[in-house]
Amino acid sequence: MNTATRNSRIAVVTGASRGVGRGIAIALGSHGYTVYVTGRTSKPGQAALPGTILETAAAVTAAGGTGIAVRVDHSNDADTKALFEQVSQEQGRLDILVNNAAAIHEDLIKGGGFWEKSLGLVDILDVGLRSQYVASYYAAPMMVRQRQGLIVFTSAPGSVCYVHGPAYGAQKAGVDKFAADMAVDLREYNVATISLWLGLVLTERTRSVIDKDPGKYSQMVEAAETPQFSGHIIASLYEDPKLMDQSGQTLIAAEAALHYGLKDEGGKQPPSHRSMFGAPRIPHPAIVR
């Protein structure tokens, strides 16, 4: 076991080379977490967008936590299994898993019907849906043993309304359902599962789109969230003594922030888009085993 970090909270954040995952990892680091940062990009220039797992891990440490970079291809189950074996061996526990890794194709925001875009968009159902089930599968036993833990899925309103097409929508709906159903299996072990609807997040990818037409997107920027925003929400969720009352739910990040008295950088309070995009689905209480 790594004695330098054994007394801190332990988290795994998948898909954290850049974007939302990077922000969540850094935010958890600011709360003193040891964060295992996963992704495929370990060297600059390996991806179209900037960011590597090593840079994120360093930023986690700089924020006050301990960042540990682990290169993981989340399309490979063996890689995922090895990751959680490493966490178990080095730390002996796992407090939070943030399922964020997803295959985002460059055609995602392209116009046209789904059949007019690359078939590669469906890869999000492999790395983004199936991969998050696999990560949860290997994380759950540690949490069950310690009878405490939180599994979070980063999601969005695309699960209930049309956003970017059917593959994207199916992935978001799928992780919301993962949270609902895993909560049933994990409840007796005091392990919570939450799906978190993020708003527009100012990631590297989002900024690249805005930079192409800043006038068109200026109003969107005003309401956007920083990548760190949801990480502070997740930290508050874990410390909430009533966390299990929320297990299985899909929460809107902006509303959860209000509940916990959290603001984004610069004192900004990102708005909920419930009135525009709709509300998360509430699972039926029936359970058939």
- Predicted TM-score (pTM) of the model is 0.93
| First-to-last C-alpha distance (Å) of the chain | 38
Provide the 10 A C-beta neighbour count for residue 184.
14
Active-site position among 33, 138, 168, 238: 168
Cα Rg, the chain, nearest whole Å? 18
Structure confidence at residue 45 (pLDDT)? 75
Structure confidence at residue 2 (pLDDT)? 39
pLDDT in tens, the chain (289 residues): 333 344 589 999 999 998 999 999 999 999 999 999 999 978 887 777 778 999 999 999 999 999 999 999 999 999 999 999 999 999 999 999 999 999 989 899 888 999 999 999 999 999 999 999 999 999 999 999 999 999 999 999 999 999 999 999 999 999 999 999 999 999 999 999 999 999 988 877 777 666 666 666 666 677 789 999 999 999 999 999 999 999 999 999 999 999 999 999 999 999 999 999 999 999 999 999 8
Indicate the fold that domain 10-277 takes in CATH.
Rossmann fold (3.40.50)
Strands laid side by side in the 66-71 sheet: 66-71, 34-39, 10-13, 96-99, 149-155, 191-197, 250-252
Is 168 labeled as catalytic in the residue annotation? yes
Q: Is the distance from CB of 271 to CB of 184 less than 8 angstroms?
A: no
Residues in the chain, total: 289
CA atoms within 13 A of residue 138's CA, in its CB half-sphere = 21
